[in-house]
Amino acid sequence: MEPLIETVTQQLQLAAGETRRLFHGRGHRYPGLEHLVIDWFAPVAVVRLYEEVEPGWCERLCAALAQVAGIEALVVQSRGRGRETRNEIAWGQVPERLAATELGLQYWVSPLQNQNSGLFLDMREGRRWVREQARGARVLNLFAYSCAFSVAAMAGGAASVVNLDMSRGALARGRENHQLNGHDQRDVRYLGHDLLKSWGKLRKLGPYDLILIDPPSFQPGSFIAEQDYRKVVRRLPELTQIGSRILACHNDPLHDSGFIRALMAQECPQFAFRERLDNPDDFPEQDPERALKVLLFEREA
């Protein structure tokens, strides 16, 4: 337990008040703790358990975290494939939602929300890149969720952003995220549609200088990467022009980065691979190919 708490304490010091992963056991760098991650939404820490643990272990962890300076409240979330997700407040006062800070921008998160709190922390470097590269760009944000990419793009001076997601509730949170950052939203659109049935609408609003693709890996009834990612990729030529860039993301540990590169080579040979973005340093991985893949492509003549 002591090395775990030491890691949490070090990450808290590095966070300096910003949201961060405090412990990333799922990266297989901590033997025996592959089932555990701890996220930080100041001043609340969220423990996520992906397997059942032995009696008393979680209680000992919570007691140890209570001694870490800066953590004012703790949520324990039990989850895993085939199991109902449960959230419990271990101690402290946990608000229904709070504003988390990342790279100077703010996003509404819900520490007690099942599955995802409202912000995918492993995409921080992707949002940093978008903010640095978006000036003057017409951006299409596919699978927008709570529009974090859109917030980063507008903060970086994007000319416009089109956000598309099936969940109108997630897009409503996206509007609130832009409001939280004081953004003028006259050039931000929110489309609550099924992407695979919306190509005509997207063509009319294009072409785009930057397209962001960050779908779920496996969400039956919505998107299954092995079946549907190709359907997205093959539409890219009609949505872009020479010089347009694609940031294609994939977070299935069963697929390495070759999965996306092969799809692009087969369906869009006019797009050249440029680079793979680094993942945040608070997500250490034994095998980077099992982690989040964020790949940049550019359309050539």
Strand pairing class (218-219; 223-224):
antiparallel
Helix (H, G, I), strand (E, B) or coil at 281: coil
283: pLDDT strictly greater than 90: yes
How far apart are alpha carbons 252 and 233 in whole angstroms? 17
How far apart are alpha carbons 140 and 298 in whole angstroms? 15
What is the third-level CATH fold of 121-299? Answer: Rossmann fold (3.40.50)
Instruction: Check if the beta carbon of residue 257 is closer than 8 Å to that of residue 223.
Output: no
115: pLDDT strictly greater than 90: no
How far apart are alpha carbons 251 and 214 in whole angstroms? 9
pLDDT tens digits along 208-233: 999 999 998 766 667 888 889 999 99
Name the class of domain 1-96.
alpha beta
Q: Which amino acid is at 299?
A: R
The residues near 34 (Cβ < 8 Å, ≥ 6 apart) are 25, 26, 28, 50
Domain spans of the chain?
1-96, 121-299
Residue percentage of the chain with pLDDT more than 70? 97
Full-prediction pTM beyond 0.85?
yes
